[in-house]
Protein backbone atom coordinates (compact mmCIF):
# COMPACT_ATOMS: atom_id res chain seq x y z
CA UNK A 1 0.00 0.00 0.00
CA UNK A 2 1.13 3.51 -0.80
CA UNK A 3 0.60 5.80 2.17
CA UNK A 4 -0.75 9.16 0.96
CA UNK A 5 -0.57 12.04 3.43
CA UNK A 6 -3.26 14.64 2.75
CA UNK A 7 -2.41 18.03 4.25
CA UNK A 8 -5.26 20.52 4.61
CA UNK A 9 -3.62 23.95 4.47
CA UNK A 10 -6.46 26.28 5.48
CA UNK A 11 -6.80 26.99 9.18
CA UNK A 12 -9.71 29.42 9.03
CA UNK A 13 -12.71 28.77 11.27
CA UNK A 14 -15.02 29.00 8.26
CA UNK A 15 -13.49 27.24 5.29
CA UNK A 16 -14.08 24.75 2.52
CA UNK A 17 -10.70 23.05 2.96
CA UNK A 18 -12.09 20.39 5.27
CA UNK A 19 -14.77 19.42 2.77
CA UNK A 20 -12.29 19.33 -0.11
CA UNK A 21 -9.87 17.33 2.05
CA UNK A 22 -12.56 14.74 2.84
CA UNK A 23 -13.29 14.44 -0.90
CA UNK A 24 -9.59 13.84 -1.60
CA UNK A 25 -9.47 11.31 1.25
CA UNK A 26 -12.44 9.41 -0.20
CA UNK A 27 -10.87 9.37 -3.66
CA UNK A 28 -7.54 8.10 -2.25
CA UNK A 29 -9.36 5.40 -0.26
CA UNK A 30 -11.23 4.33 -3.42
CA UNK A 31 -7.98 3.99 -5.39
CA UNK A 32 -6.42 0.55 -5.50
CA UNK A 33 -3.16 0.36 -3.61
CA UNK A 34 -3.50 3.73 -1.89
CA UNK A 35 -4.15 4.46 1.77
CA UNK A 36 -5.10 7.94 3.04
CA UNK A 37 -4.11 9.84 6.15
CA UNK A 38 -5.17 13.44 6.80
CA UNK A 39 -3.29 16.11 8.68
CA UNK A 40 -5.33 19.26 9.16
CA UNK A 41 -2.98 22.16 9.88
CA UNK A 42 -5.73 23.76 11.95
CA UNK A 43 -5.66 20.77 14.30
CA UNK A 44 -1.89 20.29 14.13
CA UNK A 45 -1.56 23.88 15.39
CA UNK A 46 2.19 24.27 14.93
CA UNK A 47 3.51 27.47 16.50
CA UNK A 48 5.41 29.78 14.18
CA UNK A 49 8.72 28.10 13.41
CA UNK A 50 10.64 28.27 16.66
CA UNK A 51 13.31 25.57 16.44
CA UNK A 52 16.73 27.03 17.33
CA UNK A 53 18.70 25.11 14.66
CA UNK A 54 18.28 24.91 10.92
CA UNK A 55 15.91 22.06 9.95
CA UNK A 56 18.59 20.69 7.60
CA UNK A 57 20.40 19.45 10.73
CA UNK A 58 17.34 17.55 11.99
CA UNK A 59 18.39 18.38 15.52
CA UNK A 60 14.92 19.27 16.72
CA UNK A 61 14.26 20.34 20.29
CA UNK A 62 10.47 20.16 20.45
CA UNK A 63 8.28 17.06 20.57
CA UNK A 64 5.78 18.62 18.14
CA UNK A 65 8.54 19.02 15.57
CA UNK A 66 9.67 15.40 15.98
CA UNK A 67 6.05 14.23 15.58
CA UNK A 68 5.56 16.37 12.46
CA UNK A 69 8.86 15.06 11.06
CA UNK A 70 7.80 11.44 11.64
CA UNK A 71 4.42 12.06 10.01
CA UNK A 72 5.94 13.47 6.83
CA UNK A 73 8.73 10.88 6.71
CA UNK A 74 6.22 8.01 6.99
CA UNK A 75 4.31 9.17 3.92
CA UNK A 76 5.06 7.65 0.54
CA UNK A 77 3.35 10.56 -1.21
CA UNK A 78 1.65 13.82 -0.28
CA UNK A 79 -1.40 15.72 -1.50
CA UNK A 80 -1.64 19.35 -0.47
CA UNK A 81 -5.22 20.66 -0.26
CA UNK A 82 -4.69 24.39 -0.47
CA UNK A 83 -6.59 27.59 -0.99
CA UNK A 84 -5.24 30.68 -2.66
CA UNK A 85 -4.92 33.70 -0.38
CA UNK A 86 -3.86 36.98 -1.98
CA UNK A 87 -2.35 35.26 -5.03
CA UNK A 88 -0.31 32.81 -2.96
CA UNK A 89 -0.37 29.85 -0.57
CA UNK A 90 -1.22 30.06 3.11
CA UNK A 91 1.15 31.10 5.89
CA UNK A 92 0.34 27.97 7.94
CA UNK A 93 1.39 25.80 4.99
CA UNK A 94 4.68 27.69 4.59
CA UNK A 95 5.26 27.38 8.33
CA UNK A 96 4.61 23.62 8.27
CA UNK A 97 6.98 23.21 5.33
CA UNK A 98 9.69 25.35 6.96
CA UNK A 99 9.75 23.24 10.12
CA UNK A 100 11.34 20.42 8.14
CA UNK A 101 13.91 20.04 5.40
CA UNK A 102 15.15 16.59 4.37
CA UNK A 103 11.77 15.04 5.09
CA UNK A 104 10.41 16.64 1.89
CA UNK A 105 13.27 15.39 -0.32
CA UNK A 106 12.14 12.82 -2.86
CA UNK A 107 8.49 12.95 -1.78
CA UNK A 108 6.03 12.87 -4.67
CA UNK A 109 3.64 15.79 -4.11
CA UNK A 110 0.37 16.57 -5.85
CA UNK A 111 -1.72 19.65 -5.20
CA UNK A 112 -5.46 20.20 -5.04
CA UNK A 113 -5.93 23.94 -5.09
CA UNK A 114 -9.12 25.91 -4.85
CA UNK A 115 -10.43 29.43 -4.91
CA UNK A 116 -12.42 31.72 -7.13
CA UNK A 117 -11.81 32.22 -10.81
CA UNK A 118 -8.12 31.25 -10.63
CA UNK A 119 -8.92 27.98 -8.80
CA UNK A 120 -5.81 28.42 -6.67
CA UNK A 121 -3.44 28.21 -9.63
CA UNK A 122 -1.41 31.21 -8.45
CA UNK A 123 -0.88 29.53 -5.06
CA UNK A 124 0.42 26.43 -6.83
CA UNK A 125 2.80 28.49 -8.97
CA UNK A 126 4.07 30.33 -5.88
CA UNK A 127 4.64 27.11 -3.94
CA UNK A 128 6.36 25.10 -6.66
CA UNK A 129 9.85 26.69 -6.32
CA UNK A 130 9.75 26.23 -2.54
CA UNK A 131 9.05 22.51 -2.87
CA UNK A 132 11.52 22.03 -5.73
CA UNK A 133 14.24 23.67 -3.63
CA UNK A 134 13.53 21.10 -0.89
CA UNK A 135 13.91 18.24 -3.36
CA UNK A 136 10.25 17.24 -3.59
CA UNK A 137 9.06 15.57 -6.79
CA UNK A 138 6.11 17.54 -8.13
CA UNK A 139 3.47 16.28 -10.49
CA UNK A 140 3.21 18.13 -13.81
CA UNK A 141 -0.59 18.42 -13.44
CA UNK A 142 -2.67 19.19 -10.37
CA UNK A 143 -6.36 19.49 -9.58
CA UNK A 144 -7.71 23.04 -9.55
CA UNK A 145 -11.22 23.79 -8.28
CA UNK A 146 -12.69 27.10 -9.46
CA UNK A 147 -15.52 28.78 -7.55
CA UNK A 148 -15.24 26.00 -4.98
CA UNK A 149 -17.80 27.45 -2.55
CA UNK A 150 -20.51 26.80 -5.15
CA UNK A 151 -19.72 23.07 -4.91
CA UNK A 152 -20.26 22.79 -1.15
CA UNK A 153 -23.61 21.22 -0.30
CA UNK A 154 -24.48 20.54 3.34
CA UNK A 155 -20.81 20.84 4.29
CA UNK A 156 -19.59 18.39 1.64
CA UNK A 157 -17.74 19.03 -1.60
CA UNK A 158 -19.78 17.73 -4.55
CA UNK A 159 -17.42 17.11 -7.43
CA UNK A 160 -18.26 17.17 -11.11
CA UNK A 161 -17.39 14.21 -13.31
CA UNK A 162 -14.49 16.25 -14.72
CA UNK A 163 -13.12 16.90 -11.21
CA UNK A 164 -13.43 13.23 -10.30
CA UNK A 165 -11.52 12.30 -13.47
CA UNK A 166 -8.86 14.92 -12.67
CA UNK A 167 -8.28 13.61 -9.14
CA UNK A 168 -8.17 10.01 -10.41
CA UNK A 169 -5.52 10.96 -12.97
CA UNK A 170 -3.52 12.87 -10.38
CA UNK A 171 -3.63 10.00 -7.89
CA UNK A 172 -2.56 7.51 -10.57
CA UNK A 173 0.42 9.75 -11.42
CA UNK A 174 1.21 10.16 -7.72
CA UNK A 175 1.11 6.38 -7.15
CA UNK A 176 3.35 5.78 -10.17
CA UNK A 177 5.86 8.35 -8.92
CA UNK A 178 5.78 6.90 -5.39
CA UNK A 179 6.13 3.50 -7.04
- In sequence order, what are the beta bridge partners of 39? 7
Q: What's the confidence (pLDDT) of residue 179?
A: 81
The model's pLDDT over 59-112, given as tens digits with 9 standing for 90+, comes to 999 999 999 999 999 999 999 999 999 999 999 999 999 999 999 999 999 999
Backbone φ and ψ for 139, nearest 5 degrees, come out as -75, 150
Please compute the mean of the pLDDT values over residues 99-127 and round it to a whole number: 97
Q: What percent of the chain has pLDDT over 70?
A: 100
Please compute the mean of the pLDDT values over residues 12-40 and round it to a whole number: 96
Phi-psi map region of 166: left, alpha, beta (phi>0 left; psi -120 to 50 alpha):
alpha
Q: What's the confidence (pLDDT) of residue 18?
A: 96
> What CA–CA distance (Å, rounded) separates 66 from 61?
8
> What CA–CA distance (Å, rounded) separates 6 from 16?
15
Residue-range domain boundaries for the chain: 2-178
- Single out the residue of 163, 140, 171, 131 nearest to residue 19, CA to CA: 163
> What CA–CA distance (Å, rounded) separates 78 from 2?
10
Find out whether 38 and 79 touch, Cβ atoms under 8 Å.
Answer: no
For residue 114, the surrounding DSSP H or E stretch is: strand 108-114
Fold (topology level) of 2-178: Rossmann fold (3.40.50)
Q: What's the confidence (pLDDT) of residue 45?
A: 87
Q: What percent of the chain has pLDDT over 90?
A: 97
Amino acid sequence: MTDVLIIIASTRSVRVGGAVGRWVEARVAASAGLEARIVDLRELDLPMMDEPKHPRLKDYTRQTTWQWSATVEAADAIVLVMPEYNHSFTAPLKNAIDYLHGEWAGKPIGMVSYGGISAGSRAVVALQPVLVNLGARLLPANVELAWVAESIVDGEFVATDRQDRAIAAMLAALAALAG
